[in-house]
Amino acid sequence: MENSIETKYNKLIIVLSVAIPVVVALLFGINLRKLGFDVQPLSFLPPIYATINGLTAVLLIAAVVAIKNGNRKLHENLIKVAIACSVAFLGMYVAYHMTSDSTKFGGEGAIKYIYYFILITHVVLSIIIIPLVLTTYVKALSERFDKHRKIAKVTFPIWLYVAVTGVVVYLMISPYYAH
C-alpha cells in the first residue's frame, strides 16, 4: 500500500519520465546558430559532461558501498549528488547540441557496430532510468526501504551502465570532434 509521499510524487514521476525525453529530443533537434542566433558553440562541454558521467558512476558505486557498510546518511548524500550530476550532465548535453553541429562517428568496420550498439543501448537505457531513479528515490523518501532495496537492485546496474557508457561513447567519438 502506498503512503501519502508516494501518492504525491507518482504523478510527478510519470510527467518527468515522459517530459524529459520529449524535451531533450525536441531541443536536440534545435541548433540555435542555424536559426540565426549569434551564439558560440559550446565545444568545451563534451569532456566536462563525460567527466560528470564518470563521477556519477563513482558516486553510485560509493553509495552502494556506503549502504552495505550501514552508512545510510552517506548513501543518501551520495545518491543526491549522483542525481545532481545526472541533471547537470543533461543540461550541458542539451546546451552543447543546441549550439554545435552533430559529430559523426568516423570509425570503420567492427568498431562502428560496437560504437552504435553502445550508443543505442546508452540512449534507450537513459530514458528507462528516469522513472527508475525517481521511483527508487521516492521509496526511500517514503521510508519504504523494503521496496526501495528491491527496485534499487534494478536501478543501480542500469544507472551505472548509462553513466559508464556515456564516458565510453565520448571516448570513442572524441577523435572525430571538429576542432
What are the domain boundaries of the chain? 4-176
Position 2 pLDDT exceeds 70: no
**Pure H helices in 100-144:** 110-141
pLDDT of residue 19: 94
Q: What is the pLDDT of residues 31-83, one digit of tens each?
A: 888 888 888 889 999 999 999 999 999 999 999 999 999 999 999 999 999 99
pTM for the whole structure = 0.91
pLDDT of residue 38: 87
Q: What is the pLDDT of residues 81-102, one digit of tens each?
A: 999 999 999 999 999 999 998 8
Q: Which amino acid is at 10?
A: N
Separation of alpha carbons 85 and 156, rounded Å: 15
Separation of alpha carbons 120 and 62, rounded Å: 27
Q: Which three cell numbers stand for residue 134?
A: 525517481
Could you tell me which of 62, 82, 93 has the C-alpha nearest to residue 134? 82
CB 13 within 8 A of CB 138: yes
Rounded to whole angstroms, the maximal C-alpha distance in the chain is 55
4-176: CATH class = mainly alpha
Q: What is the pLDDT of residues 108-166, one digit of tens each?
A: 999 999 999 999 999 999 999 999 999 999 999 999 999 999 999 999 999 999 999 99
**Pure H helices in the chain:** 4-28, 45-68, 72-99, 110-141, 145-173
CB 95 within 8 A of CB 51: no
Q: Give the model's confidence band at 13: pLDDT under 50 very low, under 70 low, under 90 confident, else very high.
A: very high
